[in-house]
């Protein structure tokens, strides 16, 4: 008999010796009890990783002096002041005033991940939105400190949900990397071309150089340019199913993996789905405002607003959000580091409330 408690074993052996008739009952009870266990609360793999990263982050930050490790209290103090800002920026029109107030549940992973830069075997973690720059000696951080980088290979910059980062490449091209994105870029471009690989969203101002074309490659599309400003949206997640390229200035050539090609000029956008490529004229600010830290809406259905917030913060809204999906929103929503700021504002503006539930 499997047991943890010798006294228990002998007790039962003795009992069964004296009462052999109970043996069948005993065996049945035993199998039933054996299936019972104490349920354990568990961390998800992501939470475990994030907690570990937070722990070892000290390694990266200690160099810069005694930065405080994460403490939630100060964060909340900042949150309160920010919320006020947002509510001024957002105008909202109510269509269905008759509807009952809805309570919307928001699923959210409370652990804020770091921006990560991987260069060869070196990993660097950044707590907040960061700005990196490449010069002759390699990658330099915000404070001007050089980071150990591999010269002849690609580096990877991973920007988690809820964060953004800026990057100046070795040719002087300037990049904004949006939340939930992964970008691969070399410390030094080859002589023939300048190529970066993207999953997610970037806004880029390409430095002019007609002899070395600049190429942004995503799993679905290749964007070819000489010198221009444009936005590429190529998330592989489930929030938005289509990739989009928006040109702000200049022109680009676009080629999808399925073979479709087109040329785009300023104020034009191309979206791709599995089946087709759609070209249209657009208000570019609407697609590029994120790089300045806010989302811009113009009579946008709430459904879309919530979708974009879902993507940015990796949150999901419960079904009740459909009650407000037809309402529209015009104005700016500031992308605070703390999602609860944004939700607080929204809840003031809609007939409803948001409850944050940890994922």
Among 23, 46, 52, 135, binds another protein (CB under 8 A): 52
Toward another protein, which CB reaches closer, 11 or 95?
Answer: 11
Residue 5 Cβ vs another protein, minimum distance, rounded to whole Å: 5
The pairing of strands 261-265 and 115-119 is: unpaired
Among 38, 68, 81, 97, binds another protein (CB under 8 A): 38
Distances (CA, A) of 359 to 49, 106, 109, 278, 343: 14, 9, 5, 36, 16
Q: Is 73 in the site for another protein (CB under 8 A)?
A: no
Toward another protein, which CB reaches closer, 39 or 192?
Answer: 39
Among 18, 40, 100, 136, binds another protein (CB under 8 A): 40
Residues in the chain: 359
Q: Is 191 in the site for another protein (CB under 8 A)?
A: no
Residue 139 Cβ vs another protein, minimum distance, rounded to whole Å: 19
List Cβ neighbours of 339 (8 Å cut-off, separation of 6 or more).
Answer: 106, 108, 162, 309, 313, 315, 356
Among 17, 18, 34, 238, binds another protein (CB under 8 A): 34
Residues 325, 301 contacting (CB under 8 angstroms): yes
The residue assigned the tokens 């907040």 is 128
Q: How many CA atoms lie within 13 A of 50 on its CB side?
A: 16
| Binding segment (CB under 8 A) for another protein, from list 34-42, 122-130, 237-245, 285-293 | 34-42
Q: Is 4 in the site for another protein (CB under 8 A)?
A: yes
Q: Is 35 in the site for another protein (CB under 8 A)?
A: yes
Among 17, 20, 21, 33, binds another protein (CB under 8 A): 33
Toward another protein, which CB reaches closer, 25 or 298?
Answer: 25
String marking each residue 11-30 x if it binds another protein according to CB under 8 A: xx--x----------x--xx
| Cα(336)–Cα(344) distance, integer angstroms | 11
Toward another protein, which CB reaches closer, 33 or 191?
Answer: 33
Determine the longest span between alpha carbons in the chain, in angstroms.
96
Q: Is 54 in the site for another protein (CB under 8 A)?
A: yes
Toward another protein, which CB reaches closer, 37 or 275?
Answer: 37
| Cα(312)–Cα(332) distance, integer angstroms | 15
Among 17, 98, 152, 358, binds another protein (CB under 8 A): 358
* 144 CB-contact burial (10 Å; exposed 0-12 / middle 13-18 / buried 19+): exposed
The pairing of strands 214-217 and 221-225 is: antiparallel
| CA quadruple 233, 234, 236, 239: dihedral sign | positive
Residue 305 tokens read as 């607003």
Among 17, 18, 37, 65, binds another protein (CB under 8 A): 37
| Cα(157)–Cα(151) distance, integer angstroms | 15
Residue 334 Cβ vs another protein, minimum distance, rounded to whole Å: 25
Q: Is 143 in the site for another protein (CB under 8 A)?
A: no
List Cβ neighbours of 193 (8 Å cut-off, separation of 6 or more).
Answer: 212, 213, 214, 215
- Contacts with another protein by CB under 8 A lie at 1-5, 7-9, 11-12, 15, 26, 29-30, 32-43, 47-48, 51-52, 54-56, 58-59, 62-63, 69-70, 72, 110-111, 358
């Amino acid at each position: 008999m499997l047991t943890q408690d010798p006294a228990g074993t002998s007790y039962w052996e003795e009992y069964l010796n004296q009462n052999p008739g109970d043996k069948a009952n005993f065996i049945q009870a035993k199998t039933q009890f054996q299936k019972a266990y104490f349920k354990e609360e568990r961390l998800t793999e992501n939470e475990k990783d994030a907690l570990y990263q937070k722990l070892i982050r000290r390694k990266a930050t200690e160099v810069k002096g005694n930065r405080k490790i994460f403490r939630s209290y100060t964060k909340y103090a900042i949150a309160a002041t920010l919320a006020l800002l947002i509510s001024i920026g957002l105008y909202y029109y109510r269509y269905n005033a008759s509807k009952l107030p809805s309570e919307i549940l928001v699923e959210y992973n409370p652990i804020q991940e770091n921006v990560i830069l991987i260069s060869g075997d070196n990993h660097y973690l950044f707590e907040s939105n960061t700005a990196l720059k490449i010069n002759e000696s390699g990658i330099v951080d915000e404070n001007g400190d050089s980071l150990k980088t591999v010269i002849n290979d690609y580096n990877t910059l991973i920007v988690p949900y809820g964060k953004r980062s800026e990057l100046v490449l070795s040719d002087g091209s300037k990049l904004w990397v949006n939340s939930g994105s992964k970008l691969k870029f070399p410390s030094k471009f080859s002589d023939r071309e300048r190529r970066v690989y993207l999953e997610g969203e970037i806004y880029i101002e390409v430095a002019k150089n007609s002899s070395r074309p600049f190429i942004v490659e995503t799993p679905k599309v290749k964007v070819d340019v000489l010198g221009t400003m444009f936005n590429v949206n190529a998330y592989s997640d489930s929030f938005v199913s289509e990739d989009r390229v928006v040109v702000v200035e200049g022109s680009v050539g676009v080629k999808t993996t399925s073979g479709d090609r087109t040329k785009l000029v300023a104020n034009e956008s191309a979206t791709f789905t599995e089946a087709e490529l759609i070209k249209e004229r657009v208000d570019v600010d609407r697609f590029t405002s994120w790089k300045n830290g806010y989302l811009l809406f113009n009579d946008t259905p709430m459904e879309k607003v919530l979708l974009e917030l879902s993507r940015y913060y990796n949150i999901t809204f419960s079904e009740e959000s459909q009650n407000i999906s037809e309402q529209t929103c015009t104005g700016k929503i500031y992308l605070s580091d703390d999602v609860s700021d944004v939700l607080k504002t929204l809840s003031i503006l809609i007939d409803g409330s948001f409850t944050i539930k940890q994922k």
